[in-house]
Structure 1
Amino acid sequence: MTLRFIGIDPNTGGNGSPTVWVDPETDDLVIQGWRAGRQTEKECAGFEIQGHATGIPAHEAVVRIPARMASILREACDVAERGELR
């Protein structure tokens, strides 16, 4: 698998930077972000959505992406939606 790099936090200092890629085989977004923190995880885990169990499964994570990366996320969504990597 060779991910397509879309963008990185423009304010990165080079250490632990939120980053976005698209998987060309599945068009999935792959996101590296900051750990959301216990309070945010607790809030997300307790959020009730009809038809879904509460909690965060062991194979999932809650991450934060800075708002300044909105355009990068939009670009990744557009690339994935168009399937242009296939």
Structure 2
Amino acid sequence: MRIQFVGIDPSTDRNECPTVWVDKEGQRLLIQSYNADEASRAQCEATSPAYGPVPPTETIISIPARMVPAIRKAIDALDGPGLH
């Protein structure tokens, strides 16, 4: 599996640093970010089309809006020829 770094939270303090990688081979994004708080998690589960708790193999993460450019870059990398 070839994983490429795409971007890190521009206001990181290096202790808490949401990060985005792309796996072009596996056609997926890999995202490190904060765990969603319990209230957000409960609201997500309540509005999910699956109408149930998040399975133990999955989680809900909270991604700061300032990470949108890195996520867009990662999506473009999956759609296009590669990272620039």
What is the TM-score when the length of structure 1 is the normalising length?
0.85
Residue of structure 1 in register with 2:66 after alignment: 68
Aligned length: 83
Unaligned runs of 5+ in 1: none
Percent identical pairs in the alignment equals 37
How many Å apart are 1:53 and its aligned residue? 4.3
Q: Which residue of 2 aligns with 1:30?
A: 30
2:17 corresponds to which residue?
17
Moved more, 56-65 or 74-83: 74-83
Q: Does the 8 Å contact 2:29/2:75 carry over to 1? A: yes
Amino acid of the structure 2 residue aligned with 1:2: R
Q: 2 CA distance for matches of 1:10 and 1:43?
A: 28
Greater than 3 Å deviation, 4+ residue runs: none
Which of the numbers 57, 61, 64 marks the counterpart of 1:59?
57
Please list the CA deviations of residues 10-56 of structure 1 after superposition, one character each: whole Å capped at 9, or x if unmatched: 0000002100000132120000110111111111111142xx34221
**What root-mean-square deviation, in Å, do the aligned CA atoms of Structure 1 and Structure 2 show?**
1.6
Q: Normalized against structure 2, the TM-score is what?
A: 0.87
In the alignment, structure 2 segments of 5+ residues that lack a partner are none
Within 1, Cα distance between the matches of 2:34 and 2:25?
A: 26
